[in-house]
Amino acid sequence: MAKKSKEKEDRLSDLPDSILIHILSMLHDDAPYIQNLKILGSCRGIYLRNVASLVTVVLEFDFDFDFEEQDPLQRKESTCLKELFQSVAHVEKLKLGPCSPLAVLAPLQAVLFDVDGTLCDSDPLHYYAFREMLLEIGYNCGVPVDEEWFIKTIAGKHNDDIASALFPDDQERGLKFCDEKEAMFRRLVKEQLKPIDGVYKVKKWIEDRGLKRAAVTNAPRLNAELIIEILGLKDFFDVVIIGSECERAKPSPDPYLKALELLKASKEHTFIFEDSASGIKAGVAAGMPVVGLATRNPPHILMEAKPAFLIKDYEDSKLWAALEEIDTKSGATTTTV
């Protein structure tokens, strides 16, 4: 039984805390069998919107409880709970099988992308520029900043916030420093920029289906447009949204909401690609599922921002399984919006 439970825990390791919330919303707070659901508390990955999806997930993974470790009352209520799920599944005639976090978006209308770290592996260049320039001015007592500091202080944040973090008593100096750092970054990016693996494959998938698309970034416009041009994506994006040109930058939802407005797309039929916790929070706050790219930022930090699921890059089989299910649910392999 212990081995079976461990296998189920492994299979559920991609489910989000939102599943627990959905389950608990159906139960009494003092129900003994709530203790049996604690296993779900640390699971993450599937974006759910309704109880039907919950039931599909529970039955798909054949989730049950370790009856051997329960008292009679817990066993009785655990059995009732499982029967409840099975009854609802029968009534709704749910199709058992993979439950995609993105399938609820069908028919899909738009896909939104962050830029740095999402379209290209640019974070190492940002880190190098910050490290070298901070070293020049004796920041941190002349000790070079490390990548952990970069991820915590810099990655995904707007330059206004970075300036405040670096020079809390002199915002003007901080902004000037950030401008000079961006100039250095642009020099580096012309020679060393590399696209994320599979980005052109997902680009073709989007184009073949006539979907709307936007780049949404906290980067300065000069940086964003340069990166997009170097990657050959200038004609791919319908709009480019810059955080500083919105009322609030990420992690506020404003940039993503502005993208939806300009594209005339619905958040109910749009998802986002992001690589930073700040960006994921912005997308989630805007009401859209976010596919997180674990290109540089630690997965456990990204998961705290509640993405739908994480992928290594655009070649990840998890992504293509989700896109295939969108196609299946849409009833066609190509859809013009």
**Measured between alpha carbons, how far is 10 from 225 in angstroms, rounded to an integer?**
42
Does the CA dihedral 103-48-34-83 come out positive or negative?
negative
| Residue of 17, 114, 161, 208 with catalytic role | 114
Catalytic annotation present for 123: no
Token readout for 153 is: 């202080």
**Cβ(206)–Cβ(111) below 8 Å:** yes
Does the CA dihedral 332-50-306-270 come out positive or negative?
positive
**Cβ(214)–Cβ(112) below 8 Å:** yes
Task: Return the SS3 of 47.
Answer: coil
**Cβ(330)–Cβ(107) below 8 Å:** yes
Catalytic annotation present for 114: yes
**Cβ(295)–Cβ(121) below 8 Å:** yes
**Measured between alpha carbons, how far is 151 from 157 in angstroms, rounded to an integer?**
10
Active site residues: 114, 116
